[in-house]
């Protein structure tokens, strides 16, 4: 699985975004050490504050399937028609949610943050989860 393929999986997931209120579609794709890919997209609610982010939906799907680690990379895509096209980075809550799954397996996944450049091509900024969420609180603290 190449980075480009993982990003394409995230973009595919965003096609199912339910975001009628923000009209801001987000896709997420999680890559695991057995090459499995699990995707998510944002799901909003008429009670606006109940929106679920794409990354959180993907982690919930993965953990509901029994996954408890093995997270090696994540791609997060933002929409082409919003903002300045800069790569979208996971919100603070999603960083914490991603950290739970990563820390369970002792990995520090690459987070491929993806936007859309002026020419329509992907703009990608790759950062480690530990850089997005330094000094994280996680399951190891409770063990
Ligand atoms: N959103 C995500 O899905 N992931 C993020 O990391 C940032 C924000 C969603 C939530 C909401 O549906 C829309 O983007 C606008 O905030």
Mutate to test the pocket of ligand 1, among 53, 83, 99 (most ligand atoms within 8 A of CB): 53
H helices within the chain, ranges in order?
3-14, 54-64, 92-104, 129-132, 139-142
- pLDDT tops 90 at residue 122: yes
Residue 143 domain-assigned (yes or no) = no
CA of 81 from ligand 1 middle (Å) equals 14
- Annotated active-site residue 118? The verdict is no
**Predicted TM-score of the model (pTM):** 0.97
With a 6 A CB cut-off, is 51 part of the ligand 1 pocket? Answer: yes
CA of 50 from ligand 1 middle (Å) equals 11
Q: What is the pLDDT of residue 102?
A: 98
Give residue-wise pLDDT tens across range 7-45.
999 999 999 999 999 999 999 999 999 999 999 999 999
Number of H-type helices and E-type strands within the chain = 5, 5
Residue 72 domain-assigned (yes or no) = yes
With a 6 A CB cut-off, is 94 part of the ligand 1 pocket? Answer: yes
Q: What is the pLDDT of residue 13?
A: 98
Residue 141 domain-assigned (yes or no) = no
Which domain range does residue 118 map to? 3-136
Residue 97 sits in a domain whose CATH number is 3.40.140.10
With a 6 A CB cut-off, is 89 part of the ligand 1 pocket? Answer: no
Q: What is the pLDDT of residue 125?
A: 97
- pLDDT tops 90 at residue 143: no
Residue 118 domain-assigned (yes or no) = yes
Q: What is the pLDDT of residue 119?
A: 87
Residue 90 domain-assigned (yes or no) = yes
- Asked if 80 and 24 count as a contact pair (C-beta separation under 8 A), the reply is no
Number of domains in the chain: 1
Q: Which of 119, 107, 122 is nearest to 4 (CA)?
A: 122
Give residue-wise pLDDT tens across range 85-119.
899 999 999 999 999 999 999 999 999 999 998 88
Residues 6 or more apart in contact with residue 36 via CB below 8 angstroms: none
């Amino acid at each position: 699985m190449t980075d480009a393929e993982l990003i394409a999986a995230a973009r595919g997931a965003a096609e199912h975004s339910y975001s009628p209120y923000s009209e801001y579609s987000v896709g997420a794709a999680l890559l695991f050490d057995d090459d499995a890919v699990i995707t998510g997209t944002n799901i909003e609610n008429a009670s606006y504050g109940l929106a679920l982010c794409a990354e959180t939906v993907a982690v919930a799907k993965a953990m509901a399937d029994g996954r408890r680690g093995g997270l090696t990379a994540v791609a997060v895509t933002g929409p082409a028609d919003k903002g300045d096209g800069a790569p979208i980075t996971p919100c603070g809550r999603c960083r914490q949610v991603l950290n739970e799954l990563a820390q369970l397996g002792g990995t520090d996944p690459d987070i491929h943050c993806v936007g859309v450049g002026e020419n329509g091509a992907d703009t990608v900024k790759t950062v480690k989860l530990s850089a997005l969420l330094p000094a994280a609180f996680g399951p190891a603290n409770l063990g």
